[in-house]
Amino acid sequence: MSTQDLELILEKMDVYDGKVDLHGFGEPLLDKDLADKARVIKKRWPLSSSRIISTLGVPLTDNFIDSLVQSGLGTIEVSFYGVDAHSYKAAHGVNKFDRVKKNIQRIMRRVSELGSELELVIREFPTHDDVTQPGYVQDKKERLAQWLHDQGVKVFRQNVIHNYGGGRAYNKPETKGVCSVVWGFRKRILQITWDLDVIPCCFDSNSTVKFGNLKSQSLQDIFESQQYKRFIDAHINNEIADYDVCVKCERCFKP
């Protein structure tokens, strides 16, 4: 998404003091305009908190790090699935373990030196009954945790593995209940793709369900559209056959 398109989105919205995720699918640190986008959001919504989820496995210049640290970005969550080079490669498919550690060290040093409020969060390998961290060794995890603490990293987070709308088959589908895209958490999230399509939620990773586009429509137009109403009614009535991503999603009710 261009910075200009981000500004267009913000113009269509009211005052906001919640969380803003600047990542999609891929590595957000490859976006050279990322710091500019974080600054735009902080200026428009000073009480909001922006976030990216990154591997930190990419080369970063000193100037880019300083720009990001001072941009107003609230949180970098790092998908750091490994306790050493071997287990990291087994989980991620590539060996970027040492680069990630170096980037963490560099970012946290500049956070301290520049007095930034940027928080770095480590996302540990997700919890699951059957899927475990390859090459996991407890004492290595403890040493890594101590090293991270020494860098100033204080927050660790474990998520639960999800099928991502049929991308995998880690979990069995739910047998009852209506997805929160109708009534709860996901209904409160505005999910916008890089090209400004409004979609149901992040589990629709390929944007197969589009409610509208903010380049030509207002939010009111989109959420009063027949596409949106049809989607919600399908979930309420458990008639989701037309939405393949929902049929395969573990969070959606099916017979």
What is the mean predicted confidence (pLDDT) over 33-42? 98
What is the mean predicted confidence (pLDDT) over 222-237? 95
* Residue 227 pLDDT level (bands cut at 50, 70, 90): very high
Please tell me the predicted confidence (pLDDT) of residue 76: 97
What is the mean predicted confidence (pLDDT) over 43-62? 97
Spell out the SS3 assignment of the chain.
CCHHHHHHHHHCCCCCCCEEECCCCCCHHHCCCHHHHHHHHHHHCCCCEEEEEECCCCCCCHHHHHHHHCCCCCEEEEECCCCCHHHHHHHHCCCCHHHHHHHHHHHHHHHHHHCCCCEEEEEEEEECCCCCCCCCCHHHHHHHHHHHHHHCCCEEEEEECCCCCCCCCCCCCCCCCCCHHHHCHHHHCCEECCCCEEECCCCCCCCCCCCEECCCCCHHHHHCCHHHHHHHHHHHCCCCCCCHHHHCCCCCCCC
Please tell me the predicted confidence (pLDDT) of residue 225: 96
Please tell me the predicted confidence (pLDDT) of residue 99: 98
What is the mean predicted confidence (pLDDT) over 39-68? 97
What is the mean predicted confidence (pLDDT) over 84-91? 93
Mean pLDDT, the chain, rounded, equals: 92
pTM of the model: 0.91
**Report for 31-45, 150-164, 180-194, 198-212: range of highest mean pLDDT:** 31-45
What percent of the chain stands above pLDDT 90?
Answer: 72
Q: Residue 102 pLDDT > 70, yes or no?
A: yes
User: Residues 132-175: pLDDT tens digits?
Assistant: 888 888 899 999 999 999 999 988 888 888 877 666 778 877 66
What is the mean predicted confidence (pLDDT) over 98-117? 98
